[in-house]
């Protein structure tokens, strides 16, 4: 399953229905297979088999400074982006909204790399 199972429930390790920054950090620490403190594109994508290329373009989207690694700065930036009402917690709805947007942006910018796609990005309901 790999990263495909990175659903909100898996991220929310204390099950309070909110994603805290520490929980996001924990997830990246797990993805950081060689423990060098940053997540490389390889680490981010290698567990995803069928959707490898898809995660690759998501990675490009998250790697805002384009250095090929997701560090704590990128992770914190991602968290701030998710927390749209700035209450320092990311709700399920904020998470869904954020990922819908990331997927849409990634497909817009890099979708040509995917070729024909069947329903990717439409797997969850888009909250309004
Ligand atoms: Ca939580
Ligand atoms: Ca690493
Ligand atoms: Ca929030």
Cα of 113 vs centre of ligand 3, distance in Å, is 33
Cα of 16 vs centre of ligand 1, distance in Å, is 5
The burial class, CB within 10 Å (0-12 / 13-18 / 19+), for 5 is exposed
For the chain, 128 residues long, the average pLDDT of each consecutive 10-residue run is 60 94 94 96 86 86 92 94 95 93 87 66 52
Output b/e per residue, 57-85; b: 16+ Cβ within 10 A: bbbbbbbeeeeebbbeebbeebbeebbee
Q: What is the pLDDT of residue 125?
A: 54
80 vs 87: CA distance, rounded Å: 10
Instruction: For residue 24, give the nearest of 64, 71, 87 by alpha carbon.
Output: 71
Domains of the chain: 2-113 (1.10.238.10)
What pTM was computed for the model? 0.76
Assign 69 to helix, strand or coil.
Answer: strand
Cα of 11 vs centre of ligand 1, distance in Å, is 8
Cα of 115 vs centre of ligand 3, distance in Å, is 35
């Amino acid at each position: 399953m790999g990263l495909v199972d990175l659903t909100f429930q898996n991220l929310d390790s204390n099950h309070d229905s909110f994603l805290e920054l520490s929980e996001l950090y924990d997830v990246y620490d797990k993805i950081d297979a060689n423990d060098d403190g940053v997540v490389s594109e390889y680490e981010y994508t290698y567990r995803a088999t069928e959707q490898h290329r898809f995660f690759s373009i998501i990675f490009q989207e998250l790697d805002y400074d384009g250095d090929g690694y997701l560090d704590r700065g990128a992770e914190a930036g991602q968290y701030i982006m998710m927390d749209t009402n700035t209450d320092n917690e990311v709700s399920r709805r904020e998470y869904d909204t954020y990922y819908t947007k990331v997927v849409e942006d990634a497909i817009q910018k890099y979708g040509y790399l995917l070729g024909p796609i069947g329903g990717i990005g439409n797997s969850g309901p888009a909250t309004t």
